[in-house]
A and B are shown apart, each in its own frame.
Chain A
Amino acid sequence: MPETPSKKPVVLLVIVGIVFGVSLLLVLLGLRPTEKQLVEIVQDGQVLYTLDLASAEDQELRIEAENGSWNLVCIRDGEIFMQDAGCPDHTCVNMGVLRAENLPIVCLPNRLVIRFAQGGQT
Chain B
Amino acid sequence: MKLHKLTELALLTALALIIFIIELRIPDLTPIPGVKLGLANIITVYAVFRYRPGETAMLVAARLLLGAMFTGNLSALLYSAAGAGLCLLGMLGVKRFIPQRYIWLCSVIGAILHNTGQIGAAIVLMRTTAVLTYLPVLLVSGCIAGLFTGLCAQFTVIRMEKLRPDRHE
Residue B84 CB within 8 A of the other chain: no
- Min C-beta distance of B142 to chain A, whole Å: 9
Docked Cα-Cα span, A11 to B137, in Å, equals 24
Residue B81 CB within 8 A of the other chain: no
Docked Cα-Cα span, A30 to B140, in Å, equals 13
State the total of A-B contacts with C-beta under 8 angstroms: 110
Task: List CB contacts (< 8 Å) of B125-142 with chain A.
Answer: 125-131, 133-137, 139-140
Contacting residues, chain A, for B112 (C-beta < 8 A):
16, 19
Q: Encode contact with B along A6-44: 1 for CB under 8 Å, 0 otherwise.
A: 101100110010011011101100110000000000101
Report if A6-B97 is in contact (Cβ < 8 Å); known contacts: A106-B33, A111-B126.
Answer: yes
Instruction: Find the residue from A12, A22, A103 having the highest chain B CB count within 10 A.
Output: A12
Task: List CB contacts (< 8 Å) of A70-114 with chain B.
Answer: 87-89, 91-92, 94-96, 101-104, 106, 108-109, 111, 113
Binding-face segment, B3-11, B50-58, B71-79: B71-79
Question: How many interface residues does chain A have, given as a range?
Answer: 35 or more
The answer to whether A103 and B133 touch across the interface, beta carbons within 8 angstroms, is yes
Q: Which of B33, B99, B133 contacts A1 (CB under 8 A)?
A: B99
Q: Which of B72, B98, B102, B140 contacts A23 (CB under 8 A)?
A: B140
Docked Cα-Cα span, A31 to B64, in Å, equals 31
Residue B32 CB within 8 A of the other chain: yes
Residue A45 CB within 8 A of the other chain: yes
Report if A104-B131 is in contact (Cβ < 8 Å); known contacts: A9-B98, A16-B109, A95-B31.
Answer: yes
The answer to whether B73 and A16 touch across the interface, beta carbons within 8 angstroms, is no
| Nearest A residue (CB) for B131 | A106
Docked Cα-Cα span, A98 to B71, in Å, equals 27
Contacting residues, chain B, for A12 (C-beta < 8 A):
94, 98, 102, 105, 109
Q: Which of B71, B75, B108, B136 contacts A16 (CB under 8 A)?
A: B108
Docked Cα-Cα span, A86 to B93, in Å, equals 40
The answer to whether A42 and B130 touch across the interface, beta carbons within 8 angstroms, is yes
* Sample of 9 more A-B contacts, CB < 8 Å, known A20-B143, A27-B136, A103-B134: A8-B97, A9-B105, A22-B136, A23-B139, A88-B72, A95-B32, A103-B137, A106-B122, A106-B130
